[in-house]
Amino acid sequence: MSFIEIKGLSKIFLQGNQKIYGIRNANLSIEKGTFMSVIGRSGSGKSTFLNLVGGIENPTSGEVFFDGKSIHQFKDKELTKFRNQHIGYVFQQYHLLKELTVLENIRLPLDIGRKAYDHSYEEELLDLLGLKDRTDFYPSQLSGGQQQRVAIARALITRPDLILADEPTGNLDKQSGDQIIRFMKETNRLFGLTYIIVTHNKEIADYTDREITIDDGEIINDIDLLDVRENEVIK
């Protein structure tokens, strides 16, 4: 079994007595360390897909297996614990707490989980993300790109196995967006961290190693970009 196995996954939303398909019968295997993107039009089901994989939403049918365990079978408490241990989230709107400094924001998941700080890992992240001289700043004193880098450090501080990112570059100019995706790729490479990145930006998606396309709730395309690039070099 792969790191993540998605089997027959569907989500139907009820709007009055109208059924709206968020996701229709998705089947997918994702290996550990995959750097993957999810593209598709607005309303196609990308966020729903991400929320199902992260256990934020429950499917109508089907399952998500994480290291062989079906996450939607967990009780609420187990699911929260599982999410805190294994998954980091990055959103379009950075969701930083404005009354906390950069360092306090980054350490927040450890404080909530009552975990000890790992100072050398913290230094490594601050260094990688270019935040070393910003640790005492407040979010309002940072650029959008810097705020998103803080959000990434906060997602990584608990050493998760999987990062789920929903339009992480959606609010950023091209240069800051490119920088964010490079940071993500670097931490993917260094820590073997698996990424699923939702984006409607094809250039961002092309930077990843595997690209799936969702249309009207359905996975209609699944491309191994590593393979594509290798063949381009040979040609």
Contact residues for ligand ADP, defined by CB under 6 A? 13, 15, 20, 22, 40, 42-48
Q: Please report how close the Cβ of residue 24 comes to ligand ADP at its closest, in angstroms.
A: 11
Q: Please report how close the Cβ of residue 13 comes to ligand ADP at its closest, in angstroms.
A: 3
State the binding string over 20-59 for Mg ion (x if CB under 5 A, else -).
---------------------------x------------
Give 187 or 199: the residue with its C-beta nearer to ligand ADP: 199
The two tokens of residue 105 are: 């924001």
Q: Residue 219, Cβ neighbours under 10 Å: how many?
A: 21
CA distances from 186 to 33, 125, 183, 195 (A): 12, 11, 5, 11
Q: Please report how close the Cβ of residue 128 comes to ligand ADP at its closest, in angstroms.
A: 29
Cβ–Cβ < 8 Å for 139, 112: no
Region of residue 103 (phi > 0: left; psi between -120 and 50: alpha; otherwise: beta): alpha
The site partner of 231 among Mg ion, ligand ADP, none (C-beta below 5 to 8 Å per kind) is: none
Give 58 or 70: the residue with its C-beta nearer to ligand ADP: 58
The site partner of 113 among ligand ADP, Mg ion, none (C-beta below 5 to 8 Å per kind) is: none
Q: Please report how close the Cβ of residue 77 comes to ligand ADP at its closest, in angstroms.
A: 24
Give 54 or 128: the residue with its C-beta nearer to Mg ion: 54
Q: Of 185, 169, 100, give the one whose Cα is nearest residue 139.
A: 100
Residue burial 171-203, b: 16+ Cβ < 10 Å; e: rest:
bbeeebbbbbbebbeebbeebebbbbbbbbbee
Give 60 or 176: the residue with its C-beta nearer to ligand ADP: 60
- Rounded CA-CA distance 228/12 in Å is 34
The site partner of 160 among Mg ion, ligand ADP, none (C-beta below 5 to 8 Å per kind) is: none
Give 81 or 95: the residue with its C-beta nearer to ligand ADP: 95
Give 37's strand partners. Answer: 197, 211
Q: Please report how close the Cβ of residue 95 comes to ligand ADP at its closest, in angstroms.
A: 17
Q: Please report how close the Cβ of residue 212 comes to ligand ADP at its closest, in angstroms.
A: 12
- Rounded CA-CA distance 116/214 in Å is 40
Q: What sign does the dihedral 173-178-179-181 (CA atoms) show?
A: positive
The site partner of 117 among ligand ADP, Mg ion, none (C-beta below 5 to 8 Å per kind) is: none
CA distances from 5 to 82, 179, 207, 225 (A): 16, 30, 23, 20
The site partner of 42 among ligand ADP, Mg ion, none (C-beta below 5 to 8 Å per kind) is: ligand ADP
Contact set with Mg ion (CB under 5 A): 47
